[in-house]
Amino acid sequence: VSATETRRWTLNDFDIGKPLGRGKFGHVYLAREKRSNHIVALKVLFKSQLQQSQVEHQLRREVEIQSHLRHPNILRLYGYFYDQKRVYLILEYAAKGELYKELQKCKYFSERRAATYVASLARALIYCHGKHVIHRDIKPENLLIGAQGELKIADFGWSVHTFNRRRTMCGTLDYLPPEMVESVEHDASVDIWSLGVLCYEFLYGVPPFEAKEHSDTYRRIVQVDLKFPPKPIVSSHAKDLISQMLVKDSSQRLQLHKLLEHPWIVQNAEPS
């Protein structure tokens, strides 16, 4: 299923399997490309809904962004096609499923598992930033697990090229950094903040600024009200790394390449 093939895909090229999930704009199915027997995820989007939500341009831009991204920790978009009523995205299938389900099952991850995931996400984000793409939506719901247990950033519903930064609010508040919650200009350092929130949630099972009311979460984010509970026991290296990422002044946040040299990552992440 090489994306370079400029062939016109049609539905007849695929055997459709079980539903994998339901997104806002449509359903996702397991599918097998008939000639290669390659297993993929086929996302079906209804043109009517895309038009209603005026996201066709965003989808086009996203397909454009995705077609240039090739990284082991970024879910591939192999290609797309459409018919009268629907647009079909041919996506990589992540055999071990959704990360947030795994996190719910384990409550929280070991330091080795958390560090391995954080390191692979850091490498994927360094790669994206190198291509002037900031992701801005790094949260458990947007992460999948590949057949070898590797993490895949899977949803580019909100990725933008840095030159046209948008300020629309996306997803839950929990993962947004102060500059987005206060909707001021932002840059690639938003991904470092979100990675810090994710690292905290991997280790404690809950995001750091969680609160009952949106207004309380908002206040805890802008005040960077960061607290480390006594349980589960987490190493001081891990807390030090999180404290260097969840910094209000985006210019003072730990740089992603520095993260890969942090003692907690060096001592705990599996070699890639």
Ligand X SMILES: COc1ccc(C(=O)Nc2ccccc2)cc1NC(=O)CCSCc1cnc2[nH]ccc2c1
How is the beta sheet containing 26-33 ordered, strand by strand? 14-22, 26-33, 38-46, 86-92, 77-82
Q: Taking CB under 6 A as the rule, does residue 222 contact ligand X?
A: no
Residues noted as catalytic = 137
Among 9-17, 59-67, 186-194, 199-207, the segment contacting ligand X (CB under 6 A)? 59-67
Torsion of CA 12, 17, 19, 23, to 10 degrees: -30
The angle subtended at Cα 178 by Cα 175 and Cα 183, nearest 5°, is 100
> In angstroms, what is the minimal distance from the CB of 89 to ligand X?
6
Judged by CB under 6 A, does residue 205 bind ligand X? no
- Rounded to a whole number of angstroms, the minimum distance from the CB of residue 256 to ligand X is 21
Choose between 20 and 247: whose C-beta lies nearer to ligand X: 20
By the rule CB under 6 A, 93 interacts with ligand X: yes
x/- map, 129-158, ligand X, by CB under 6 A = ---------------x---------xxxx-
Report how far residue 242's alpha carbon sits from residue 170's, in angstroms, rounded to the nearest whole number: 23
* Residue whose pair of structure tokens reads 């062939």 in the numeric block: 7
Measured CA to CA, the distance from residue 66 to residue 77 in angstroms comes to 6
77 lies in the binding site for ligand X (CB under 6 A): yes
- 261's tokens: 């040299």
CB of 170 to ligand X, least distance (A): 11
Helix (H, G, I), strand (E, B) or coil at 258: helix
Answer yes or no whether residue 170 interacts with ligand X by CB under 6 A.
no
Mode of pairing for the β-strands spanning 26-33 and 77-82: unpaired
Residue 14 binds ligand X (CB under 6 A): no
Nearer to ligand X, 21 or 149 (CB): 21
We find the least distance from the C-beta atom of residue 136 to ligand X, in angstroms, to be 14
Residue 84, Cβ density class (10 Å: 0-12 exposed, 13-18 middle, ≥19 buried): exposed
Interface region with ligand X, contact rule CB under 6 A, candidates 90-98, 115-123, 184-192, 226-234: 90-98
Under the binding rule (CB under 6 A), the answer on residue 21 touching ligand X is yes
Q: How far is CA 86 from CA 43, 111, 131, 205, in A?
A: 10, 43, 30, 38
User: Can you tell me which of 7, 10, 19, 23 binds ligand X, judged by CB under 6 A?
Assistant: 23
Q: Least distance to ligand X from the beta carbon of 264, Å? A: 29
**Cα 17 from Cα 95, distance rounded (Å):** 14
Q: Count Cβ atoms within 10 A of the Cβ of residue 47 and give its class: 0-12 exposed, 13-18 middle, 19 or more buried.
A: middle
Q: Which of 1, 39, 59, 211 binds ligand X (CB under 6 A)?
A: 59
Question: Which stretches of the chain bind ligand X, using CB under 6 A?
Answer: 20-21, 23, 25, 28, 41, 43, 45, 55, 58-59, 62, 66, 75, 77, 89, 91, 93-94, 97-98, 144, 154-157
